[in-house]
Structure 1
């Protein structure tokens, strides 16, 4: 079953994030109930893959000022049928940043988020079941702003809260701080 690898990752995530049971349960039910969960054409919602991109020091995060949503966010996008969600996050990181060389610092899920995307250009509002992984550039860190962004920026951890009040972004910031403080 093409959904099994993600379901296994969700089960492992459940073991390390017991306080996120409600989100994990909802995520798991959605994936089990929708064989086409990786397809953008599933109008109730679909799986997306995102990248929490950290610099070599671990103290800066590459964020995009997302053009459609007009908010500072992590890079990521639609799976478009690909059930290999870590590969989706990597592809989106490359496309949206212009950076080519990355290492996946951990193949485990870093964060999960389910968020509502507003109606736009005839596409009804729908849910993104976003799976997030940590990536680190191994080559140049000079990015290129794509058409999907107003801007990109390497943001020091201490400045992130000045760019966003989004709960999921602040949750990832806290998770990352906990991870690097060891």
Structure 2
């Protein structure tokens, strides 16, 4: 029961973005196979929630220079047992940025990504099954850099390649620009 909302959203995503059917199918299979998919303790991997957080004008996205991965990425992280993946994504964005006035732009999944997290200290290599939503900052855009980041920055979406060449980030750029046109 606790996975039904996510499974329903994933099936809708598969129809909305048919060219990403393989990723959606992999994620659906993962969620169906693992009742504990929202738990970080699932060592093969787990569900994470992310926020493509845009400014009021929709021209800039807030990125974190992730401390552990040493990369510029969207805000997000572990669901930690929260089966409401939108709430988990919002909570991660709040924790990583300090911005409280986050508005969900659309309740549908914006993007999916499955990526390998390398082994680190006592944690084995595993996969993050990342479910991404668009949030918008409609008021104060001032942020606070958390201990999880080297830095945060509002990045002009048109110039995203100055910060990253990560395909999933560039895919979100393309999707966002397509949605705005």
Normalising by the smaller structure, the TM-score range is: over 0.9
Aligned residues: 181
**Which has the larger displacement, 32-41 or 158-167?**
158-167
RMSD: 0.6
Q: State the TM-score, normalized to the length of structure 1.
A: 0.98
Indicate conservation of the 8 Å contact 2:7/2:28, yes or no.
Answer: yes
Q: State the TM-score, normalized to the length of structure 2.
A: 0.99
Unaligned runs of 5+ in 1: none
Partner of 1:123: 123
Indicate conservation of the 8 Å contact 1:54/1:136, yes or no.
Answer: yes
Answer yes or no: is 1:143 the counterpart of 2:140. no
Partner of 1:104: 104
Q: What is the alpha-carbon distance in structure 2 between the residues aligned to residue 88 and residue 139 of structure 1?
A: 21
Indicate conservation of the 8 Å contact 2:51/2:89, yes or no.
Answer: yes
Q: What is the alpha-carbon distance in structure 1 between the residues aligned to residue 121 and residue 139 of structure 2?
A: 37
Partner of 2:31: 31
Post-superposition, which runs of at least 4 consecutive aligned residues in structure 1 deviate over 6 A?
Answer: none
Partner of 1:47: 47
Deviations 1:101-133 (A, max 9, x none): 111010000000000000011100000000000
1:115 is paired with a residue of what secondary structure? Answer: strand
Partner of 1:152: 152
Unaligned runs of 5+ in 2: none
